[in-house]
Chains A and B, each alone.
Chain A
Amino acid sequence: MKNIKHSWAEPYKIKMVELLKMATPAQRKKAMKEAGYNTFLLRSEDVYIDLLTDSGTSAMSDRQWAGMMMGDEAYAGSRNFYHLEKVVQDVYGYKYLIPTHQGRGAENILSKILIKKGDIIPGNMYFTTTRLHQELAGGKFEDIIIDEAHDPENDFPFKGNVDLDKLEKLIKKHGAPKIPYISIATSVNMAGGQPISMQNLKALRALTKKHKIRVIHDMTRVAENAYFIQQREKGYANKTIKEIVKEINSYTDGATMSAKKDALVNIGGFLAVNDWDVFEEARNMVVVYEGLHTYGGLAGRDMEAMAIGIGESVSDEHIRARVGQVIYLGEKMMEYGVPIVRPIGGHGIFVDAKKFLPHIKQEQFPAQTLAAEVYLDAGVRTMERGVVSAGRKANGENYFPKLELVRFTIPRRVYTQAHMDVIAESTARVYERRNSIKGMKMIYEPKYLRFFQARFEKL
């Protein structure tokens, strides 16, 4: 791992900057209280380093900005659409493209087309919006990720893998016709950005082929997953990221994509499928929810920026620097003794809040508490990924996930090494005073996706 630290210098230089404000401790205290101790409700002006998400927060390249100026805003048949369609076919290898304004737009349409009431959708760990759309369409999510994924200290290199035994049992129990597709994420977000191996994908493909079940790929961070395959899996060291990405996709039947992650854009997503019938249905449905199928609710310029960003996202130099920066931060935190999910994932550092604050019970939201404390120390905004994000079951009970994490997500190409140092040092300071930190209670809870808008009070 040591040599990675020295090799991640950015393959770009800075062309435009955005000025930051630095709030005082007193201002931060006031802002956090007004936001109900939910980092989502902070005004971004009060934030110094924003690690809330890597979604839509990338710095675009000068080429992408040039593409923005080349937007063709025609309502139908924009040339930017045809460019994007070609790039998706060439780089990702899927046949048919439906652009959408975001990844969740694609999930909404796909779930409505493929899921019938009472269906089971197995997947390698849930993701908030994905599971919600599956449930709203009448389906039920079943977790088939390997057990290692739930253990933050296990160093297994591919903690995003599917447990094929779990899947086979599910198929046996419910029967293949009840399973419209397997939902497979690359770089599993809720597990800490953990990759799935090519070998596991191949085996999954063989099994699903036997049962004639589709595999749908949540490919928002596929290039980061490809990097880990290149670094860790036998036989891939000499393959390019581009080749690996294409091979991953070849074992799946379609994909939903939030282009706001890997593809380096601020807005946009798509649904891509190989099946003409699904495509045709999606094309009729996208008009109602998103926009005509040649723009899907996106400005032409955003499709152009996405087409260019996809090309940049699969370059080996880009991914090496991207993941290298994340690993740099993670190693620094470990030096300070901060408990984090291992191995370090591709898009952020996931701090283990249960271990960080062992005196706070999960009912008192240790991760939510820690996110608030990290903000108060130096203005670093992070996100809870624990009991608040997990939400409630259909019967109203809380899900109590094994992982109670705070996510430090690193936007692509935005922050420097000095910023990383500030983040690690600030987290270390909070760690030193951890014993004096108290839990919280929830005072407002929305019905869906509560983590976005819930409000809390200190105990």
Chain B
Amino acid sequence: MHTIIEPFRIKSVEPIYFNTKAERKIILEKAFYNPFLIHSNDVLIDLLTDSGTSAMSSNQWAGIMQGDESYAGSPSFFRFEKTIQDITGMPLVIPAHQGRAAEKILFSVLGGKGKYFVSNTLFDTTRANIEFSGAEGIDLVCEEGKHPVIPAPFKGNMDVEAFKKFIEEKGAEHIPLCMITVTNNSGGGQPVSMQNIRDVKKICTEHHIPLYLDACRFAENAWFIKMREKEFADSPIPDIVKEMFSYADGCTMSAKKDAFANIGGFLAMHDEALARQCRNLLIMTEGFPTYGGLAGRDLEAIAIGLTEVMDEHYLQYRIRSMEYLTNKLIAAGVPVMQPAGGHAVYLVADDFLPQIPVDQYPGQALVGALYEHGGIRSVEIGSLMFGKYNEQGKLIPAALELVRLAIPRRVYTQSHIDYVAEVIIEVFNNREKIKGLIIVEEAPTLRHFTVKLKPVQ
């Protein structure tokens, strides 16, 4: 097989600032071992997130120049609306400044005490928004999804039997909606199969529970369906996408992922009455319904990005990039989530650093080591992000201790990725020197963004 090359060339570049290991040691200490507190100028390769960090295309930049900034009724909105209607088949489209704002609105309307939102796995801000409304978020990912190093084709699938059981237990009337995250971000960017979406939809229909997609990475998920689900081997991506959305009553999307935008999101649905309620809330915190807190130019960039992402050459290159890095790490014996996900490579931190107990946050310790050694910024997805305390104040750990290396779209080259692999392997070979961390200061919700830590002596 030939090397899979990028289906684009570079039109504009941004310099990377270099620093030394000694400098990074001090920077890390000053940032309290929290990558969110490091200045981006001090980072060589920024794999903190694939959200909002994409390189836009020249077409998107042209759209940026064409943005109509009228407060109401901008043609940029109507182009945005039509693109989303065409892709999702959903008639009602509500823009928001980010995905979390779309979620905030949806869960403010539907949430509340005594309600349960069921999902394969909810992402951190989604869960926070659900809990903020007083409701509970329930993760029911399939068994394969709970074992990071055992490969399976659709580890993002929802456990259908567990879902049935949960409905029996709690009653459908307490479940305002079921949300499938595609791909399953917290579970390693693992895809959900079309068959699983169909099965979940069937149960939802039986119990009159609306099905929503958290559609941030819908195109990456569609590519996996095409590659791994026989029925779809010859289907064009837009058809697969259309079918995925056809089972959903609505969706939320952060356009900062698969729409290659640096800012923006939306909520789309079929339910007219719900949309009206959402728009009333939108005006209060986001903006008028034809801009939703976005500049007109951003609506243009999203509309263009949403169509670009369904290009098969792009998706092949995108998914191959994750495999490339994953395979290099597997060859060196580094414990890594398998198979490779759609937008990131996940290191299994508790296997990587078995000497560090869970309450000393092995994932966060590994994040610090990668930064100090090679200037790579990554993020912990484990007990620091999802851990809770019991009544005695003891840590209830998360199911998985992972470190995510999220690859921004169209930004880094193969030599950047080679460098990343080398740094990880070097850290792996010196892993016994890495120490755990303890928390000095933390916020009650979403603590990982602002938490301060220090190394265990």
Contact = CB atoms under 8 A, between A and B. Distances in A.
Interface in B11-39: 12, 14, 35-39
12 contacts: A40-B71, A41-B73, A56-B69, A75-B53, A105-B293, A108-B285, A133-B284, A283-B450, A291-B97, A302-B295, A447-B280, A448-B280
Nearest to B46: A74
A299 B259 CA distance: 14
B35 A76 contact: yes
A40 B77 CA distance: 14
Contacts of A71: 262
A79 B41 contact: yes
B284 A287 contact: no
Contacts of A446: 276, 279-280
Interface of B: 12, 14, 35-43, 46, 48-49, 51-54, 64-65, 67-75, 78, 97-98, 100-101, 104, 125, 128-129, 132, 262-263, 276, 279-280, 283-289, 291, 293-298, 443-446, 449-450
B38 A297 contact: no
Contacts of A447: 280
Given A52-B70, A75-B48, A284-B443, 12 more contacts: A40-B288, A74-B40, A75-B51, A77-B37, A77-B39, A79-B40, A101-B97, A104-B284, A266-B67, A288-B132, A446-B280, A449-B283
A310 B12 CA distance: 27
Chain B: interface secondary structure?
loop
A448 B278 CA distance: 12
A78 B14 CA distance: 13
B58 to A, nearest CB: 13
Given A40-B72, A57-B69, A74-B48, A284 B40 contact: no
A129 interface: yes
A287 B449 contact: yes
8 nearest A-B pairs in the assembled complex, by CB-CB distance: A74-B40, A44-B70, A43-B73, A267-B295, A77-B39, A299-B262, A299-B263, A101-B97
A272 interface: no
Contacts of B284: 104, 108, 129, 132-133, 136, 448-449
A435 B446 CA distance: 61
A69 interface: yes
Contacts of B98: 101, 290-291, 297
A266 B288 contact: no
Interface of A: 16, 18, 39-47, 50, 52-53, 55-57, 68-69, 71-79, 82, 101-102, 104-105, 108, 129, 132-133, 136, 266-267, 283-284, 287-293, 295, 297-302, 446-449, 452-453
A136 to B, nearest CB: 7
Residue of A72, A76, A283 ringed by the most chain B CB atoms within 10 A: A76
A58 to B, nearest CB: 8
Nearest to B67: A266
B12 A69 contact: yes
A363 to B, nearest CB: 24
Contacts of A18: 68
A374 to B, nearest CB: 16
B71 A52 contact: yes
- Which residue of B38, B40, B72 has the most chain A CB atoms within 10 A of its CB atom? B72
A42 B72 contact: yes
A132 B280 CA distance: 12
Most B-side CB within 10 Å, residue of A42, A132, A283, A453: A453
B262 A300 contact: yes
Given A105-B293, A132-B284, A452-B288, A50 B46 contact: no
B70 A47 contact: yes
A298 B263 CA distance: 6
A132 B38 CA distance: 37
A170 B97 CA distance: 38
B298 A299 contact: yes
Nearest to B49: A75
B104 A101 contact: no
A265 B55 CA distance: 22
Contacts of A449: 283-284
A376 B439 CA distance: 64
B274 to A, nearest CB: 14
Contacts of A289: 100-101, 104, 285
B75 A44 contact: yes
A288 B101 CA distance: 8
A301 B132 CA distance: 30
Contacts of A45: 73, 75
Contacts of A76: 35-38, 40, 48
B40 A78 contact: yes
A56 B299 CA distance: 14
A72 B411 CA distance: 13
Contacts of B445: 284, 288
Contacts of A53: 71
Nearest to A82: B39
A50 B52 contact: no
B198 to A, nearest CB: 34
A266 B293 contact: no
Nearest to A295: B52
A446 B443 CA distance: 37
A74 B73 contact: no
A384 to B, nearest CB: 13
Contact of A43 (B46, B64, B75, B97): B75
B40 A72 contact: yes
A293 B36 CA distance: 10
Residue with the highest number of chain B CB atoms closer than 10 Å, among A52, A56, A108, A295: A56
Nearest to B53: A73
Contacts of A41: 72-73
Nearest to B76: A44
Contacts of A104: 284-287
Contacts of B78: 43
A284 B262 contact: no
B293 A288 contact: no
Contacts of B73: 40-47
Of A43, A47, A71, chain B has the most CB atoms within 10 Å of the CB of A43
Contact of A44 (B41, B72, B276): B72
